[in-house]
């Protein structure tokens, strides 16, 4: 009965306005949540799938920075049943207040959208980020929230104590009640009963709706714009704020070989790139195939991949990809990629609509969409040469080829108008 009551009276705001500057040049023309991930997803698909699978189906996506790619993806991939008015994923831009300002921060974004709460009158409001790779049964966090009679619950990820300076840290007492928030501290209080780990904030919150409204009104009057920096630390003094241990979350259908409590902040090019290899292998630490907790994405109508001949090892090939007389190892190729004879691709991510010419050699490279790599090109073997060619090279030695020209789409050498999807 408790779960039914919560399910009927919960709505979600998903914070999808992030610029993702550390993912540049992948974010040159799109916001961070719209960046492709894996063989068919966008980063935003993970939080939306978690909410939908958790029976939270009134979802507002708050956008700001270069939102068009994300808007198109939501329009094509996230049309929820129109038979039930409470089931939707809707994009919400900044409301342009009287002074003409955009969203000033996470709290300000929800404040500008509070009129949407009037339409639904929820008991609980989920405020979740849109830029992490993970699975989570949010119903379990909601149950924890109600059992502890919390006003606010913050999702917390246990991380090694030595990594505290990389995260926003949550300090709690033995009951799980939050006693402090620290932003990337040099030293932090360890978790109760675990001296080697600390709680890192995942940026996912549950609020009692009336408290959220009052807190945002006060925050606006005080000039406060962010949940993590302003609103939550202030509410610690007057309200029951609890940390939900994400390590206790059990997702249906998870396999024994998967990493328990898998969660990745793909905030830099190197961490984004490394997360791709978590979905590879016979027993990946994050298995994208889980019929009991699917990750939803666009409804692609193209054909399956074709392998004419080649040597392929530990790789994923997206739909309508063609591989002919090529070598591919430890790589992910997204939709409608063409790989011509003699090409060699190792430890790479090749995005949609790319054409890899004959004899091309790629190593530790991300090729963004709509690129044609000319025959005989080598990328990833000489970083000085890569930089001279205009490619972005990270400190970790990853090479990124920026978005190509979408007006030119090459399929096996033939110039055509475009693929089956956006």
What pLDDT shows up at residue 370? 94
What pLDDT shows up at residue 412? 45
User: Which strand (E) or helix (H) includes residue 2?
Assistant: helix 2-8
Q: Which domains, and CATH codes, for the chain?
A: 2-265 (3.90.550.10), 306-416 (2.160.10.10)
| Contact yes or no for 216/110 (Cβ under 8 A) | yes
Condensed to tens digits (0 to 9), the pLDDT of residues 113-147 reads: 999 998 889 999 999 999 999 999 999 999 999 99
In this prediction, residue 86 has a pLDDT band, given cuts at 50, 70 and 90, of confident
Condensed to tens digits (0 to 9), the pLDDT of residues 149-198 reads: 999 999 999 999 999 998 999 999 999 999 999 988 988 889 988 999 99
What pLDDT shows up at residue 355? 95
Predicted TM-score (pTM) of the model is 0.93
Condensed to tens digits (0 to 9), the pLDDT of residues 280-300 reads: 999 999 999 999 999 999 888
Condensed to tens digits (0 to 9), the pLDDT of residues 386-419 reads: 999 999 999 999 999 999 977 655 554 433 334 4
In this prediction, residue 101 has a pLDDT band, given cuts at 50, 70 and 90, of low
Tokens of 101: 């300002």
What pLDDT shows up at residue 100? 52
Which are the contacts of 370, defined by CB distance < 8 A and separation ≥ 6? Answer: 352, 353, 354, 403, 404, 405, 406, 408, 409
How far apart CA 37 and CA 44 sit, in angstroms, is 9
- Angstrom distances, CA of residue 141 to CA of 17, 150, 376: 24, 11, 53
| Contact yes or no for 399/349 (Cβ under 8 A) | no
Helices (H) and strands (E) in the chain, counts: 10, 29
Angle ∠(363,367,368) on CA atoms, nearest 5: 165
Helix H, strand E, coil C: the string for 113-141 is CCHHHHHHCCCEEEEEECCEEECCCHHHH
How far apart CA 180 and CA 236 sit, in angstroms, is 7
What pLDDT shows up at residue 87? 85
- Angstrom distances, CA of residue 106 to CA of 63, 102, 130, 151, 215: 11, 11, 12, 18, 13
Tokens of 77: 């991939």
User: Which strand (E) or helix (H) includes residue 6?
Assistant: helix 2-8
Condensed to tens digits (0 to 9), the pLDDT of residues 6-62 reads: 445 899 999 998 888 999 999 999 999 999 999 999 999 999 999 999 999 999 999
Given a cut of 60, whether residue 366 has pLDDT beyond it is: yes
User: Which strand (E) or helix (H) includes residue 242?
Assistant: strand 241-245
Condensed to tens digits (0 to 9), the pLDDT of residues 219-255 reads: 999 988 889 889 999 999 899 999 999 999 999 999 9
Q: Which residue has the higher pLDDT, 358 or 416?
A: 358
Q: What are phi and psi of 411, to 5 degrees?
A: -125, 100
Given a cut of 60, whether residue 4 has pLDDT beyond it is: no
Q: Locate tokens 């939102």: which residue?
A: 67
């Amino acid at each position: 009965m408790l779960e039914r009551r919560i399910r009927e009276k919960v709505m979600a705001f998903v914070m999808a306005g992030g610029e993702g500057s550390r993912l540049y040049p992948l974010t040159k023309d799109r916001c961070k949540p719209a960046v492709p991930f894996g063989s068919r997803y966008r980063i935003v698909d993970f939080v939306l799938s978690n909410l939908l699978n958790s029976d939270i189906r009134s979802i507002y996506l708050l956008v700001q920075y270069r939102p068009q790619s994300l808007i198109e993806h939501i329009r094509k991939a996230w049309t929820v049943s129109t038979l039930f008015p409470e089931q939707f994923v809707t994009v919400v831009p900044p409301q342009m207040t009287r002074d003409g300002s955009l969203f000033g921060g996470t709290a300000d974004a929800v404040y500008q959208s509070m009129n949407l709460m009037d339409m639904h009158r929820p008991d609980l409001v989920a405020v979740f980020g849109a830029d992490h790779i993970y699975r989570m049964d949010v119903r379990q966090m909601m149950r924890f929230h109600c059992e502890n009679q919390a006003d606010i619950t913050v999702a917390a990820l246990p991380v090694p104590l030595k990594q505290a300076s990389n995260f926003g840290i949550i300090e709690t007492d033995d009951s799980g009640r939050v006693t402090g928030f620290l932003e990337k501290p040099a030293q932090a209080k360890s978790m109760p009963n675990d001296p080697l780990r600390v709680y890192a904030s995942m940026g996912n919150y549950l609020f009692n709706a009336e408290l959220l409204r009052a807190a945002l009104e006060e925050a606006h009057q005080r000039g406060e714009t962010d949940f993590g920096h302003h609103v939550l630390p202030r509410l610690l003094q007057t309200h029951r704020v609890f940390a939900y241990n994400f390590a206790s979350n059990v997702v249906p259908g998870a396999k024994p070989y998967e990493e328990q409590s898998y969660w990745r902040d793909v905030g830099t090019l190197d961490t984004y790139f490394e997360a791709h290899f978590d979905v590879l292998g016979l027993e990946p630490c994050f298995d994208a195939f889980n019929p009991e907790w699917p990750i939803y994405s666009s409804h692609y109508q193209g054909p399956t991949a074709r392998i004419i001949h080649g040597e392929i090892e530990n790789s994923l090939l997206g739909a309508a990809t063609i591989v002919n007389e090529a070598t591919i190892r430890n790589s992910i190729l997204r939709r409608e990629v063409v790989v011509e004879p003699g090409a060699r691709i190792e430890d790479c991510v090749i995005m949609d609509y790319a054409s890899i010419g004959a004899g091309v050699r790629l190593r530790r490279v991300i090729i963004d969409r709509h690129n044609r790599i000319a025959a005989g090109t080598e990328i990833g073997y000489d970083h000085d040469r890569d930089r001279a060619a205009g490619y972005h090279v990270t400190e970790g030695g990853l090479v990124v080829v920026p978005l190509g020209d979408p007006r030119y789409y090459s399929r096996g050498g033939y110039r055509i108008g475009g693929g089956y999807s956006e």
